[in-house]
Copies of this chain bind each other. A is one copy, B any other.
Amino acid sequence: MQLYDLELSGNCYKIRLFSALLSIPMEKVTVDLRKGEHRQADFLALNPLGQIPVLVDSEVVLRDSQAILVYLARLYGGEDWLPSEAGAMARVVQWLATAANEIAHGPAAARAHDLFGAALDVEQARAGARRIIGIMDRHLRDREWLELGRPTIADIACFPYVALAHEGHVFLTDYPNVVAWIARIKALPGFVNMPGL
């Protein structure tokens, strides 16, 4: 299994973290965005959106970190990380959508601006970040994990860019339940880190 990867990408880190937690061997292929490797024809043939990560598992080629989490959870995670029952699966999937939408355009966008100079409205991104992190903090007031009372790919999908929010100058001091949730994820057996965490 090959992961097209970049160390500083939180979306790639989701896959590195989840494959470490499940002890899934993963060959990493670095895609250097600064050199524009994601705009070259051989990479665009794997993912026309020109984004990392991409997972290649013989004939299965998957773009999008959330879809890759679903693939690995269904292949290697049994019923633990993404259950097959409709209600439980949908509860997890609503957080995958939050990761792809509010978190991507909130804390992840603010970090992309501050760290990599991405051209975007950083104040709007920071306001969005505070809004979604505040909602997560209230949600976690009486919960240890986002759904189902146990770690699922909902937590893995939402964790990186929330835990890296300070790199976009959004600070977690007002969100104690989110801070405690981050500490619980960091205490999972097999946890691996990334720069900035």
A159 to chain B, nearest CB (A): 17
Interface of A: prevailing SS: helix
Q: What's the Cα separation between A48 and B95 when bound, in Å?
A: 13
User: Is the Cβ of B62 less than 8 Å from the Cβ of A90?
Assistant: yes
User: Is the Cβ of A90 less than 8 Å from the Cβ of B139?
Assistant: no
In the complex, whether A175 has a CB less than 8 A from a CB of chain B is no
Which of B64, B74, B75 sits near A94, CB closer than 8 Å? B64
Which chain B positions have C-beta within 8 A of A68?
A: 90
Copies of this protein in the assembly total 2
In the complex, whether A135 has a CB less than 8 A from a CB of chain B is yes
In the complex, whether A20 has a CB less than 8 A from a CB of chain B is no
Q: Which one of A89, A91, A97, A132 has the highest number of Cβ atoms from chain B below 10 Å of its Cβ?
A: A97
The 5 closest A-B pairs by CB, nearest first: A71-B90, A67-B94, A74-B86, A100-B100, A67-B93
Binding site for B on A (CB under 8 A): 48-49, 57, 60, 62-64, 66-68, 70-71, 74-75, 84-87, 89-91, 93-94, 96-98, 100-102, 104-105, 121, 132, 135, 138-139
